[in-house]
Chain A
Amino acid sequence: MSTAAPARLPALHDVSTMTYREALRLALREELARDPHVFVMGEEVGVFDGAYKVTQGLLEEFGADRVRDTPISEEGFVGAGVGAAMLGERPVVEIMTLNFLLVAMDQVINHAAKIGAMFGGEVRCPMVIRTPNGAGNQLTAQHSQSFDGWFAGTPGLKVLAPATPADAKGLLKAAIRDDDPVLVIENLQIYKEHGEVPLDPDYVTPIGLAAIAREGADVTLVSHGFATVRALHVAERLAERHGVSAEVVDLRSLRPLDVETVAASVAKTGRAVCVEEGWPTYGVSAELAARIQRACFDDLDAPVERVGMAEVPLPYAKGLETAAMPGEDRIEAAVLATLGLAR
């Protein structure tokens, strides 16, 4: 028997450090190569290389039929995605930002989300819509919103919100392979975040499974998307400045929602602070608070706290915008208040 170390498996299990944006592009490239039914369409996804460069290079690699530029016509091309999906195609529709999905809301909520149930399961709609939410670039009231909860509150849709480059790849691939309409919510600030991404073309993040992004004992921060990036920074600060051990649960999936992982964490820490990029009223954090109090009533040592966007249309002036956002100072203050350590 040879004592030599086994030959290394081919690149399958390798990882590479890349940006969230590059991880999305890798997922698209792999899925376009894997399945001829997959095609990408949206405004400026082709010739322009993507408004935020997620689709850069894909037109050259896959051609104009697979990477289809659309007119500025969201209701039209989101609905075209719905119809193509009903015929067995797998459209991945890019909406330049979540704000613009509002003009296609009828196709998303009244049509895509209804197909499975309303037609008795006789047809399916395996389409993906991917789009960034978020504020922070002085884009002002009409371009700085996060409506994640509106969609996640709609039966018939699945809603995913990756927070890391690895999950950007894994969840987008899971969405493309899923037979239901899936909304993948990205974030403008998060595109430039770096992280390790598995290069295995079959690396897929399961839908409906949250991740413990950081282990801790004193308090649970529950977040998704860019709020998870913020929460992880805050957790480091809490450890350094206050000796607080914060656990961060990264939801990854908003519908289905992994309350089991959240509840297990809160049962351990006794405290929960829910953080989101959007307005908290009727938002994701409102839903979390309701479910946590129900699932963890006996475990809670403090009321569930929430941090989100200040409830105003986002202003232009930099100072006002920054003040409105769920920044690290506000999250830290909320955690300290929950722990009775308010400054």
Chain B
Amino acid sequence: MAIATATLRGLYEQMLLIRVFETEAERQYKAARIGGYCHISSGQEAATVGATHALDAEDLLVTGYRCHGFALARGVPPEAVMAELFGRVDGCAHGRGGSMHLLDASVGYYGGWGIVAGQLPIATGLALGLVRQERAQAVLCELGDGAVNMGAWHESLNLASVWRLPVVFLVMNNEYGMGTSVERASAVTELYRRASAYDLPAERVDGDDLLAVAQAAATLLEAARDERQASVLELVTYRHRGHSVADAGLAYRSRGEIDEHLQHDPIFRVRELLVQEGVSDGELDRMLERAQERVAVAVEVATASPAPALDTLARGMYCHGSAAQFARMLPGAPFGERELVFAGGLGE
């Protein structure tokens, strides 16, 4: 794919930002400033950045729960992502979503979903919404290799095909669904081949090859926008870290296997490209420093951001105007409900 050096530099900086951000997130998790589940995508940056780069400004993005990288690549400010991981009010979901439920509708990012394959029907619905609103845009729906064995995968591909919906299903095949390898989980291990059951075009690409990913995603997204042609793009990649921060990632794979992948780090591959384009070591170092600075600022902002006030517990749950609908529910309510849920106002 012909890609301008300036563009490539920008994508490299995004990859660096994601790697530095997630490395820091894991550190902050271990310092107990981040809780819950925290799924790191280190190693998958080329797939993440390449596919997201292929989106138009008005296209929509939906992902599973390993979503820090996608949020950052789509342009959610690192401060808003880090503050969300910290559970603070300046987080992109105001501290209500955490690591798995990032979202920023202003950049077309519709979450951040935590049930394997649950985001697929929603992505088809967003695509249906685009069609109904006569917007010639597409939805990119990220999922993991584990999701292709769920019923929602089959139902969504079928609907996208029979209704001609503009959605590209992006399978991030990092070889393991949690600790279960694709070989142990899937009757057909070339996952993109499953699209043939729904008469959808599909492609399998080296997910660690940034340019190949961007090219393939651009082609499929264009067909989605122009012809309402749904498709499947399988990106073969590898996650360096465990399933989540709590998983050492060694029970189901060998140290040697991980080391082998570390030697072919997608970030090194793009760095090589930039070196070939004549970018100096000094410049490359400064890019890394900038990523580190941005993450440091994100941590600062997240640290300074207040925790949500307790009387906002019910915030957002219901739409504006719902307080009046619920006002007559108070008599006989469970202990504490009045103070915890109703006092701060429903639907504000």
The total of interchain contacts (Cβ-Cβ below 8 angstroms) comes to 197
* Chain A residues, CB < 8 A from B78: none
Measured in the bound complex, the distance between the Cα atoms of B96 and A123 in whole Å is 13
Q: Render A253-290 as a binary contact track against B, CB cut-off 8 A, 1 for contact.
A: 10011111111000000000000000000000000001
Q: Contact at B130–A87, with CB atoms within 8 Å?
A: yes
Tell me the chain B residues, 306-348 only, with Cβ under 8 Å from chain A. 314-322, 324-333
The answer to the question of B94 belonging to the interface, with a C-beta cut-off of 8 Å to chain A, is yes
Q: Contact at B158–A117, with CB atoms within 8 Å?
A: no
* Chain A residues, CB < 8 A from B151: 75
Segment among B13-21, B66-74, B113-121, B267-275 that sits at the interface with chain A: B113-121
- Could you tell me how many residues of chain A have their Cβ less than 8 Å away from some Cβ of chain B? 63
* Chain A residues, CB < 8 A from B91: 120
Q: Contact at B96–A117, with CB atoms within 8 Å?
A: yes
The answer to the question of B304 belonging to the interface, with a C-beta cut-off of 8 Å to chain A, is no
Measured in the bound complex, the distance between the Cα atoms of B328 and A290 in whole Å is 16
Instruction: Select B94's contact among A121, A124, A155, A156, beta carbons within 8 Å.
Output: A121
Q: Render A235-269 as a binary contact track against B, CB cut-off 8 A, 1 for contact.
A: 00000000000000000010011111111000000
Q: Contact at A110–B115, with CB atoms within 8 Å?
A: yes
The answer to the question of A118 belonging to the interface, with a C-beta cut-off of 8 Å to chain B, is yes
With a 10 A CB-CB cut-off, give which of A39, A76, A290, A294 has the most chain B CB atoms. Answer: A76
Q: Contact at B126–A87, with CB atoms within 8 Å?
A: yes
* Chain B residues, CB < 8 A from A87: 60, 125-126, 129-130, 133
Least Cβ distance of B126 to chain A in Å? 4
Segment among B97-105, B203-211, B237-245, B286-294 that sits at the interface with chain A: B97-105
Chain A residues at the B interface, C-beta cutoff of 8 Å: 37, 39, 65, 70-71, 73, 75-89, 91, 106-107, 110-111, 116-124, 126, 155-156, 158, 178-180, 206-210, 253, 256-263, 290-296
A-B contacts besides A86-B125, A117-B314, 13 pairs, CB < 8 Å: A76-B158, A83-B127, A84-B126, A86-B110, A88-B129, A110-B115, A119-B93, A119-B96, A180-B322, A208-B329, A209-B328, A257-B329, A259-B331
Interchain Cβ contacts under 8 Å between A and B, 11 examples = A71-B158, A76-B159, A80-B128, A83-B128, A86-B125, A106-B152, A208-B324, A208-B325, A291-B331, A294-B331, A294-B332
6 closest pairs, A vs B, by CB? A79-B121, A83-B125, A121-B316, A76-B155, A291-B332, A87-B129
